[in-house]
Structure 1
């Protein structure tokens, strides 16, 4: 996963990170995800009871999440096209227009594409793009990708979030895990390539993390 993160960031370069898919993750001065600029609004779970009227403050941001969203959607499209071509290949084989080796090759490519989609989706859906905390400091909102490569928000009680200082991960690692005490769901954030926007609120949630950039 860390190798994939390095490869994507190195391939696109820092200039492209600020340009690609700007609409999906750019907020026009507000924190309500329904007001985000773009043709496709981000998928967002309903706020937990008691936080409907609260504003959420950004504490962490990983700008290159737009790049990963693009690759995720590209991979879904490529896999779909590969799988859709399989039935015609079998038909052409039955008509004697294709050899058995060609059909086996097409089937192998489709199987590999599905396996890669499952692996990449597992990682991309857990990579954190933005972190928010409500004004009372009791709820963490995690902006990440869904299976289709579009933004999705997940809410976690701050009291249930394990401090990064209690994990075995180190700030200089490419990826660090965000874990919850009551659930097995895990998210990944990168302090090496991401940026802590509000250090005070970030520390209140995850503990004092010393980064070296």
Structure 2
């Protein structure tokens, strides 16, 4: 996974990552390039009451999340093709066109593709792409991927977010977990390959990471 994270940003070149991609992450058109909003195909869970008119400030960004969205959709299409090929394979076997070894190979490939899709989907849906904090500092907005590889925003009350200083995870690790006291949903954050854009607000949410042993 570390090799994938290193390779993805280099795949399209540094210049491309400075531009928004259609249908996944799109710029709001404002002068501030750090303000991003969902495209028409993205989904957003309901905002907490009282934050409808508030602006959210971006505090963290993981550029490779856009490419991982494409990887997720590509894997979904590849898995669908391998599974759809099974019924014709069984039919051709019944007609004596394919051997038993060929059918077993097709079934093994389809099973492996399904297992990889489940694993990748589980991880990619919890990998943080962008973090926002509202102006009053009461809500954390987490942008991540859906099962289909599109963007989804989840809103977490700040008092429910467990600071990283209170967990066993270390900032030096490849991934650290964003957990909630309520135990609702856990997200994965990579400080090694992501960028902290507003360290002051980031520290207010997750604590002073440099002070940890």
TM-score, normalised to structure 2's length? 0.89
The range that moved more, 135-144 or 14-23, is: 14-23
In the alignment, which residue of structure 2 is the partner of 1:9?
5
Per mean C-alpha deviation after superposition, the further-off stretch among 44-53 and 12-21 is: 12-21
Rounded Cα–Cα distance in structure 1 between residues aligned with 2:195 and 2:145: 18
Alignment match, 2:37: 33
What are the within-5 Å matches in structure 2 for residues 1-213 of structure 1? 4=1, 6-14=2-10, 16=12, 18=14, 19=16, 22-23=21-22, 24-29=24-29, 31=35, 33-34=37-38, 36=39, 41-210=41-210
- 1:17, 1:67 within 8 Å by CA — same for their partners in 2? no
Contact 2:25 2:36 in 1 (8 A): no
* Shift, 1:15, TM fit: 6.2
The structure-2 alpha-carbon separation of the partners of 1:59 and 1:72, relative to structure 1 and needing over 3 Å to count, comes to same
**Is the 8 Å Cα contact of residues 17 and 64 (structure 1) preserved in structure 2?**
no
In structure 2, relative to structure 1, the CA distance for the partners of 1:49 and 1:72 (3 Å cut) is same
RMSD: 1.9
Alpha-carbon separation, structure 2, partners of 1:14 and 1:210: 28
Paired with 1:119 and 1:92, the residues of 2 have a C-alpha distance of: 31
Show structure 1 runs of 5+ residues with no match.
Answer: none
CA contact 2:48–2:155 (8 Å) conserved in 1? yes
- Unmatched 5+ stretches in structure 2: none
2:95, 2:10 → 1: CA distance?
51
* 8 A Cα contact 1:131 1:142, kept in partner: yes
Q: How many residues end up aligned between the 2 structures? A: 203
Secondary structure in structure 1 of the residue aligned to 2:200: helix
